[in-house]
Amino acid sequence: MSTPSDNAFDVQLRSEIDRSLRHPVMFFFTSGAAWLAVAILLGIISSAKVHAPGFLDSCPWMTYGRVSAAHQTALVYGWGCQAAFGMIIWLMSRLSRQTCRNVGTILMAGHVWNFALSLGVIGILAGGGTGMPWMEMPSFAWIPLLLAYVAITIWSMVQFKVRPEGHTYISQWYLMAALIWFPWFFGSAHLLVHGFSGSPLGAAGVNAWFHSAMLLLFFAPVGIGMAYYLVPKVMGRPVYNYALSLIGFWSLAIIVPWAGMQKLTGAPVPNFLPYLGAFAAILFAVPAAVAGINLLKTAAADMETVNHSPTLRFTVWGLVFLLAFGFASLVLNSPGITQVTQFTIAGYGFDILGVYGFFSFIAFGAIYFIVPRITRREWLSRRLIKWHFFVSIYAVMAIVVVTLFGALMQGIAQEGTYDGLWYNAASTVFPYAVLTTIAWCFLLISNFFFFIHLTLMWLRLGRRSSHPTLLVHHEPESPHGPEGDIDNTGTASAH
Amino acid sequence: MSFRLFAIGLTASFGLAWLSVVVVPFFKLRTPSPISFQEGFDEQEGIYHPKRAGRVANGAAVYAENGCYQCHTQVIRPTYAGMDLARPDVGGLSPAVNPDGIDSRRESNVFDYSGLDFAMIGTTRTGPDLMNLVPRLKARVRQQAKDDGEEISEGVVAGRVRDYLFQHLYNPRSFARLENWSSCPSMPFLFEEREIKGQPSDDALDVTVEAGHEVVPGDRAEALVSYLLSLEHDDPVPATMDYAPAAPADDSQG
């Protein structure tokens, strides 16, 4: 094992890395949480309009199609991407053992990202949307977003390149892959649809592929990569099976780039596109299950630790959602089911399961882990964390179950009524829309707890204590390492 | 595994998929080759020219901006992918709703989207599919006239369809048929309310407003309705691309 002087050096290095990253990481987490609040508000409005079309009726900015697009844009690019940036730059620095030397550039690029995104969302609400799902921001927005992305993440690639010789962690593989894939698919998809006109079906295909890539080639690797760090770290145990993690990574890299075009099933595009897309989307269950099971097996060794640590509670549930996400991808894209659910709210339910269920839960887990380390303050209140956890988990499960089950009912009504009465199919969806609205309202409450807590932490109003905030009344031995050390000097094996 | 090997593996696995499902199909779909009717199979000869009408491009932009695609699809799926063709008035008109005509139902083809930059296939059918909106509305207007014992020309039918679309955009729930359940947003902001100067406008909507005022479609409403009026994709296509042709109504062609 390591000698005491090695350990002291490690502690110092880690705290230097954390200190160097305090402002950029906190900037991405807090502005992400603020965007999440915006996204949830817009989600409530758009969902309410499905069952109460008279709500905010006369205002053009609040018409359903625009609000719904703005809701998804804010959720994906405001919250999802920014939470991912915070996780990527922190984790890559830690694992590559490099302090961040480009704080100014990253912060400036972060402001550019937020500024371009704000203009984009305002553009959608003002009536400048492009009409392409998840690419709805007016065409001026994508170039500044891409440049900001490069300026934020290029340093993580540099850090990886100059890291000290030695072991490469599986988390680094996932992060590097996401870092390479994102600019590639984001840039090329936008360039094709905005730069080359006259291919309507080709553009629709590129858009469908982009949507899938955003979920499965960006959120999935960042979320899985983060979980591969958090679970073993907080548990103080090695990953259950290292070989499985390699299989999980390469199956993701090889299978998932082909997915996406299954959204065009039945449209007049070459038949191999939707078939390949569906095949790849079904096979996405493999990397999802491999990563999910591997990490849940690691966590299952000590359920008490999982229960006491806010980080692990969120992360483990994120992994359960990952399994559900993979399974939903398998089921929804299977022959026979696609034709029923293709044009129903299942698409929305699947997106929410991926972005809010799987990815956001791991992001919350990561935030509860990272923030005390970079602010050198502990979380103020275990009650706020508990409320955030319980309200989120029930509300997200409600949205997912309601939309997927509602989609099945809606699809059966669409496919089954030949009498020409669209009423039968259209009205099926109303009760599920009511439940979805209620669930979004609960998510707004849970995010309120989270946002307040996070802001207080950034203002350095956290507890000046070296005891981690655990979700128990009497504090047992810390799962974050030896008692009193939030820097996590050692793992369970070291003491 | 070295970083070099990792980077090569990643680039190859992603790049292959990217080229073969994204880039090449995108450019291939830009120029679909023309398809001819064939003697013996089709009732007509020559090259298939899809029907086109209206201010398609800027009307489609209004459709996109207001998020109509969030609830309406524009695709008729072949029978293997869905039951769209089983409905009487979605993929065209069946004899059930158009007793005097032929069965015009067919699946969508690549030419149905020509002239657009983006095919708004859509994601959800909270509202009905719009690929054959116009034939459906025309059949309904004709049926209504027949029920009222009224003889109307095709010109009058087209005019009534246009009026219906404006009224629907202004407030979908102003129709008794949709009043209680349609969740389609009303879009009064596409219209302008103005003082009547001289004769009331022919385009004025049948809605109650302040005395001496009228509601007329704005530019964007005009563009959108013009686009919606182009949603008529039930013309006969060459049998070579009608993969699930409807059974012939009678044997007289044989």
Given a contact cutoff of 8 angstroms between Cβ atoms, the answer to whether A76 and A115 are in contact is: no
By Cβ distance, the residue of B26, B86, B183 closest to A206 is B26
Cβ contacts of A198 on chain B, cutoff 8 Å: 30, 117
Cβ contacts of B125 on chain A, cutoff 8 Å: 343-344, 410, 414, 425
- Indicate which of B183, B190, B233 best probes the interface with A, i.e. most A CBs within 10 Å of its own CB: B183
Instruction: Give the pLDDT confidence score for residue A267 in this predicted structure.
Output: 93
Give a yes or no: residue A305 inside a domain.
yes
Instruction: Give the pLDDT confidence score for residue A372 in this predicted structure.
Output: 92
pLDDT in tens, A436-481: 999 999 999 999 889 999 999 888 888 887 677 887 765 544 444 4
Asked if B186 is an interface residue toward chain A (Cβ–Cβ < 8 A), one would say yes
Q: Longest C-alpha distance within chain B, in Å?
A: 83
Asked if B214 is an interface residue toward chain A (Cβ–Cβ < 8 A), one would say no
Side chain identity at residue A462, one-letter code? G
Indicate the CATH number for domain B51-241. 1.10.760
Cα atoms found within 13 Å of the Cα of residue A103, Cβ hemisphere only: 14
The nearest alpha carbon in chain B to A166 belongs to B2
Asked if A448 is an interface residue toward chain B (Cβ–Cβ < 8 A), one would say no
Instruction: Give the pLDDT confidence score for residue B161 in this predicted structure.
Output: 95
CB count in 10 Å sphere of residue A493: 9
Cβ contacts of B30 on chain A, cutoff 8 Å: 196, 198-199, 202
- pLDDT less than 50: residues of chain A: 1-2, 476-495
Contact (CB<8Å) A58/B188:
yes
Give a yes or no: residue A6 inside a domain.
no
Instruction: Give the pLDDT confidence score for residue A473 in this predicted structure.
Output: 63
- Indicate which of A422, A424, A427, A437 best probes the interface with B, i.e. most B CBs within 10 Å of its own CB: A422
The CATH number covering residue A186 comes to: 1.20.210.10
List per-residue pLDDT tens for chain B, 254 residues long: 678 888 899 999 999 999 999 999 999 998 888 888 887 777 788 888 777 665 677 899 999 999 999 999 999 999 888 888 888 888 888 888 888 778 888 999 999 998 888 999 999 999 999 999 999 999 999 999 999 999 999 999 999 999 999 999 999 999 888 888 889 999 999 999 999 888 888 888 888 888 889 999 999 999 999 999 999 998 888 887 776 555 554 444 43
Given a contact cutoff of 8 angstroms between Cβ atoms, the answer to whether B60 and B112 are in contact is: no
Given a contact cutoff of 8 angstroms between Cβ atoms, the answer to whether A329 and A281 are in contact is: yes
ipTM of the complex: 0.92
In angstroms, the separation between the Cα of residue A42 and the nearest Cα of chain B is 14
Give a yes or no: residue A401 inside a domain.
yes
Per the structure block, which two tokens stand in for A126? 């003002």
In angstroms, the separation between the Cα of residue B120 and the nearest Cα of chain A is 7
CB count in 10 Å sphere of residue A63: 25
Contact (CB<8Å) B173/A53:
yes
Give a yes or no: residue A358 inside a domain.
yes
Report the candidate in A114, A151, A108, A93 with the shortest Cα–Cα distance to residue A30.
Answer: A114
- Residues A391 and A402: their CA atoms lie apart, in Å, by 16
Asked if A62 is an interface residue toward chain B (Cβ–Cβ < 8 A), one would say no
The nearest alpha carbon in chain B to A251 belongs to B13
| Domain boundaries of chain B, sorted by first residue | 1-31, 51-241
Cβ contacts of B65 on chain A, cutoff 8 Å: 66, 127-129, 131
Given a contact cutoff of 8 angstroms between Cβ atoms, the answer to whether A169 and A228 are in contact is: yes
Give a yes or no: residue A109 inside a domain.
yes
Instruction: Give the pLDDT confidence score for residue A197 in this predicted structure.
Output: 85
Instruction: Give the pLDDT confidence score for residue B254 in this predicted structure.
Output: 35
Instruction: Give the pLDDT confidence score for residue B242 in this predicted structure.
Output: 74
Give a yes or no: residue A436 inside a domain.
yes
Give a yes or no: residue A46 inside a domain.
yes
Classify the C-alpha dihedral B9-B10-B15-B20 as positive or negative.
positive
Contact (CB<8Å) B18/A188:
yes
- Residues A235 and A301: their CA atoms lie apart, in Å, by 9
The nearest alpha carbon in chain A to B74 belongs to A267
For chain B, positions 166-185, list CB contacts with chain A under 8 A: 172-173, 181-185
Give a yes or no: residue A4 inside a domain.
no
For chain B, positions 43-62, list CB contacts with chain A under 8 A: 60-61
Cβ contacts of A184 on chain B, cutoff 8 Å: 14, 18
In angstroms, the separation between the Cα of residue B166 and the nearest Cα of chain A is 16
Q: Domain span at residue A385?
A: 15-478
Domain count, chain A: 1
Name beta bridge partners: B194.
B214
The nearest alpha carbon in chain A to B24 belongs to A202
SS (H, E, C) A55-107: CCCCCHHHCHHHHHHHHHHHHHHHHHHHHHHHHHHHHHHHHHCCCCCCHHHHH
- Residues B234 and B135: their CA atoms lie apart, in Å, by 8
